[in-house]
Amino acid sequence: MARRGYPDLHDHLALLEREGLLVRVKRPINKDTELHPLVRWQFRGGIAEPERKAFLFEQVTDSKGRAYSIPVVVGALAANRRIYSLGLGCPVDQIGQKWQEAMARPIPAVEVTEGPVHDVVRVGDALDEPGGGIDLLPIPISTPGFDNAPYVSCAAWITRDPDTGAQNVGCYRAQVKARRRLGMNPSIELRPGIYLHWLKYRELGRPMPAALVIGAPPVVSYTSVQKLPPDVEELSVAGGLAGTPIRVVRGRTVDVMVPAEAEIVVEGLIDTEWLEPEGPFGESHGYVNLQEFNPFMEVTAITYRRDAILPSIISQVTPSESSLIKKVAYEPLLLNHLRTNLALRSVVRVGMHEPLTNLRKLVVVQMRKPAEREIWQALYGAASFQPAIGKLVVAVDEDIDPENPDAVLWAMSYRMNPQHDVQIVKGKDPGHAPRATRGGEAKRDLSASDSALLVNAIRKQAFPPVSLPKREYMERAKVIWEELGLPALKPESPWYGYSLGEWCDEFEDEARLAVQGDAFVVGERLAQRRVKGEMPNKGAWPEGEEPRA
C-alpha cells in the first residue's frame, strides 16, 4: 500500500478484521442456495445498520457439489457506513466533503507495466477447459428461486469511447451464460456511459471491447456506482478520492485500462449486432426484472491474482449494501448541488429514503428558515438533479429528521395544506423501476412518462411547542433509566419538547410553577381571567404577552 498510496481489497479486508467488522465463515456454504440468503438476514432481520458486517466465505461450494478455491466476500464495501468510511479512508462525517473534493480535483490514472491482476492469465483454449472459463469463478446466485443464473453483482464494466478514447466505469450486472459468454444489462434508463459507447460501436459495425473488473480497490468500486457526468472519467475521480493516481495496466486481449490491483478481470468483446434474452434477476428497486433482450460479451481472457477474492454485493429489496453504497455519496452530492450550484443556503441536509424505495424515489430536503421561493427552488432543483431521482420530493424544517419517515409524515400531516403546498411536475423519466415484457415489447408497468410530486411541508406560521417533556427532564429520566439497568436507549427525534414559536412568558412561568408543585398558584391566576358570554375553545392568549422562542 505504501507504494501505491491506497488500499486494495486485501488491505481493506485486513482493516475490517482488525476493526471487528469481518465475519469469517469457515464451513462449506453453497453459493447457489445459501450464501446470499445468509447475509440477507442482516438487512431484513431487524439488525441495526451499525451492527452489520462483512462476511468472508472461505469454503464455497455449488449445488453440483463442486468446491471453489477462490473465497467470496459479501458486505465488504458498504454493509454499514463505518465499513464504507474505512474503504474511503476518512471518518464517516467527512464522506461528503471527500466526495466534493474528489469531484473538484480529480487525479488521472497512471499506467504501469505490471500488477497483481496479471498473476494468472487464461486465454485461448484454456478458457474452454472445465473450470477454466467463467466456471472458474464462484459467482453466487443473488435471489435464489427467481434469478435464472449466477450473476456478477459487484463488478465494474470498463469501456472506451471509440472517438475520444475516454473510459467509462460503471457497475452493472453480468449473467453467467457459458464458459466464454456473459450477459449484461446496461440499465439504459440511467443513461450510462457504457450504453453511449455501445451505440457508437454499433454505428461503426464493430464489437465493443470491454473489461469486467471483479474486486477493484474500494475507491474504484465506490466511484463505479455513482452516475457521474458523461465527460468525467470515473478512474480520475477515484484518484481524487485516494489522493493519488490509480495504477492501471492494459488488458491482455482488449485495449482497455484496468486497475492493476484488481482481484479478477474478465476481458471480452460485446456484440453490437445481436441481443439475446437476459434475466430474470432481482433488482435494486425491489422487484424482479423480467427477461429482456440485452447485449452479451464473448470472453477473450480471464486474469486474476494468485490470492484472488471474489466480492459480491447484497442488492435487491432495500436497505441493502447496494443502496447504502450509493446513499452515502448521493446525499452530499445532491446537497452540494442545491447549496452551491443553485445557491440555496437555506438547505441544511438532503435525505434519500432507503428502505424499500431504493433512494431515488423519496427525497427529503431539510431547510432552515427558507423564503417561499427558496422552498420551491429546492424542490424543483432536487427533482431535476438526475432523471431517475425524485418522484416524491418533500421540503421540511430543520427540526424534522429526513432519516425518520415518521417525522416526515408528521410534518406533512400538520405543516402542509395540499391545495396550496403541492405541485406536480410532468414529463419525468420513470428511471430505475420495474419493467414488464408482456406482449413481446418491453413496457414499463407505470407509463413511458412519469411525474414528480413536490410537497412543501415547511411551517408557514408559529406552532405551539412539541408535546414532549423538556430536554432537561428527559435527560434526568435517562440517567435513572440507566441506573435501573434497563435496555440501552436509542433516542429518536423528537425525544424532547421544544418551542415552535407560539409560546409566551406567562405560559413558561405557569409550567415552571407546575413542576415546582404550585398548581394551585396557577389556578388562582386563571380564576382572575374569567370571561362571560363566550363559547368553549376560544383562544386565551394572555393580554400583552409576545410570542417567545
CB-CB contact of 128 with 255 (8 Å):
no
Please name the helix (run of DSSP H) or strand (run of DSSP E) that holds residue 176, with its range, or none.
strand 174-178
Kindly tell me if the per-residue pLDDT of 180 is higher than 80.
yes
| Residue 123 DSSP code | E
Q: How confident is the model at residue 193 (pLDDT cuts 50, 70, 90)?
A: confident
* 318-363 pLDDT, tens digit each: 888 888 988 988 899 899 999 999 999 999 999 999 999 888 899 9
Same fold across 9-312 and 342-456: no
Nearest to 462 by CA among 339, 332, 376, 549: 549
How many percent of the chain have pLDDT more than 90?
76
E strand intervals along 251-384: 257-259, 264-270, 276-278, 281-282, 288-289, 292-294, 296-304, 310-312, 347-352, 362-367
Distances (CA, A) of 17 to 26, 367, 404: 15, 39, 31
What's the pLDDT score for residue 228? 82
CA distance readout (Å), 469 to 18, 195, 210, 287, 509:
42, 56, 61, 43, 15
| Residue at grid coordinates 482481484 | 263
Reported confidence tier of residue 2, pLDDT bands at 50, 70, 90: low
- In single-letter form, the type of residue at position 387 comes to P
Helices (H), 172-231: 193-204, 218-224
Residues 424-459 as b/e (b if ≥16 CB within 10 A, e otherwise) read ebeebbbbbbebebeeeeeeeeeeeebebbbbbbbb
As given in the structure block, the three cell numbers for residue 399 are 427540526
Residue extents of the structural domains in the chain? 9-312, 342-456
The mean predicted confidence, pLDDT, of the chain is: 92
At 253-309, the pLDDT tens digits run 999 999 999 999 999 999 999 999 999 888 878 888 888 999 999 999 999 999 999
**What pLDDT, in 10s, does the model give residues 95-123?**
999 999 999 999 999 999 999 999 999 99
- Evaluate whether 447 touches 430 at the Cβ level (below 8 Å): yes
CA dihedral 281, 287, 291, 292 (to 10 degrees): -110
95-104 and 321-336 helices, crossing angle to 10°: 60
Residue 507 has pLDDT above 60, yes or no: yes
Residue 435 binned pLDDT confidence (cut-offs 50, 70, 90):
low
Across the range 516-520, mean pLDDT stands at 94
In the prediction, which pLDDT does 429 show?
Answer: 74
pLDDT band at 229 (very low <50, low <70, confident <90, very high): confident
pLDDT band at 446 (very low <50, low <70, confident <90, very high): very low
Note the pLDDT of residue 439. 46
pLDDT at position 33, please?
95
Q: What is the rounded distance in angstroms from the CA atom of residue 124 to the CA atom of residue 385?
A: 46
Between the alpha carbon of residue 444 and those of residues 185, 274, 436, 437, the distances in Å are 16, 23, 6, 8
Calpha distance 127→133 (Å, rounded): 4
Q: Which is nearest to 137 in space by CA: 62, 78, 65?
A: 62
Q: What is the pLDDT of residue 1?
A: 62
Question: Is residue 149 within 8 Å of 141, Cβ to Cβ?
Answer: yes
Q: What percent of the chain has pLDDT over 70?
A: 96
Locus of grid cell 442488492: 315
| Confidence at 187, pLDDT banded by 50, 70, 90 | confident
Residue 256: C-alpha distances to residues 169, 208, 260 (Å):
11, 11, 12
pLDDT for the residue 440: 45
Predicted local confidence at residue 211, as pLDDT: 98
pLDDT at 186: 81
CATH number of 342-456: 3.40.1670.10
Mean pLDDT over residues 480-491, rounded? 92
Dist CA 506 CA 519 (whole Å): 14
Residue of 281, 267, 265 lying closest to 137 (CA atoms): 265
Class of domain 9-312: mainly beta
Query: What are the residues facing 303 on neighbouring strands?
Result: 121, 265
Instruction: Check residues 376 and 289 and name the one with the higher pLDDT.
Output: 376
